[in-house]
Amino acid sequence: MHPSAMYNKCIKTNNIKTSYKASSFNKYSPYVRTPLLNNPGRGLNRYAIWQLGYSPINLNELYIALEKYPIKDIAKLLKYGFTSGFNMNYPVPRLPLDTQKLKCVLQYHVAAYERVEHEITLGRIAGPFRFRPFSNLRSSRIGLITKKTSDWSLITHLYYTPGYCVTDFLDETLTTVQYSKCNNIISIIQTLGEHAKIGKIDIKSAFRPVPCYPGDFDLLGCIIGYMYYNDKCMPMGCSISCSTFQHFSTFL
């Protein structure tokens, strides 16, 4: 099956949409999601801090496909991750931290607020909160970058502060990725000949459909205005996001 077809099959395309609530957790598997009949993301409580972030991945289709995946350890990782959230494997004590806002957020504060609100409606971010939703919430810098569509993309700077940032303490063996080299692509095109058809698949907001493990939510805070928010999905700007999504894209 073509990767794009596999991805579309794993995305919920039926008329009944699925979302989840915190009360569906149980003592045996406290972060497993139970489906409800609601619109994607919109049935989620924006203030439910322990609720798993929304993902459009169709778990039933994903489980079936993973049964046939030859790399069993990665299959197990993906199955658990999309069911209960992907662990960031942060090994050190978690301490509260507030950081200064970037200039772009101060300059385009309305765009930053609208972007966060958009993520909230998708079930990916919780908030706003007047006080820390977790006593040890770490609020990292966020930034805005423009996309080709003239839209904004929200970046979480988990590389700040140097020497004390989240990524400084993540195991490099878990965050290292090896992308295809340009020379390999050129070699394939040369082998196929001058009439070869070339295409590219781009997944919008690639990391965002990947839910984080709720035990790591305290690492994913940010501040806009004077209000706290916490992320629930793999952020743009975290070293382990790349390797986690690469496991999924390679599977596709």
- pLDDT per position as a tens digit, 138-152: 998 888 887 766 678
For residue 21, pLDDT over 50 is answered with no
Q: Of 10-14, 110-114, 158-162, which range is least confident?
A: 10-14
What pLDDT, on a 0 to 100 scale, did the predictor assign at position 150?
Answer: 63
Residues 6+ apart with CB under 8 A from 30: none
What pLDDT, on a 0 to 100 scale, did the predictor assign at position 24?
Answer: 31
Residue 73's pLDDT band, with cuts at 50, 70 and 90, is very high
Residue recorded with tokens 């975290």: 238
For the chain, the average pLDDT equals 79
What pLDDT, on a 0 to 100 scale, did the predictor assign at position 228?
Answer: 94
For residue 65, pLDDT over 50 is answered with yes
Q: Of 45-54, 82-91, 157-166, which range is least confident?
A: 157-166
Do residues 174 and 242 lie in contact, with contact meaning Cβ atoms separated by under 8 Å? no
For residue 18, pLDDT over 50 is answered with no
* Distance, CA of 248 to CA of 120 (rounded, Å): 24
Provide the whole-model pTM. Answer: 0.76
Do residues 171 and 187 lie in contact, with contact meaning Cβ atoms separated by under 8 Å? no
Residue 29's pLDDT band, with cuts at 50, 70 and 90, is very low
Separation in Å, CA 47 to CA 21, 44, 50, 151, 235: 11, 9, 9, 26, 19
* Distance, CA of 166 to CA of 242 (rounded, Å): 15
* Distance, CA of 67 to CA of 65 (rounded, Å): 5
Strands 125-129 and 227-231: antiparallel
* Distance, CA of 216 to CA of 166 (rounded, Å): 11
For residue 26, pLDDT over 50 is answered with no
- Work out whether the CA dihedral 202, 203, 208, 211 comes out positive or negative: negative
What pLDDT, on a 0 to 100 scale, did the predictor assign at position 35?
Answer: 36
Which residue has better confidence, 205 or 87?
87
Domain boundary assignment for the chain:
3-179+199-251
**pLDDT tens figures, 93-126:** 888 988 877 878 878 888 888 889 999 999 999 9
Residue 6's pLDDT band, with cuts at 50, 70 and 90, is low
Residues 6+ apart with CB under 8 A from 163: none
Q: Which CATH number is associated with domain 3-179+199-251?
A: 3.10.10.10
Average pLDDT over residues 81-104: 87
Which runs of E-coded beta strand occur in the chain? 18-19, 36-37, 97-98, 125-129, 138-139, 141-146, 152-157, 221-224, 227-231
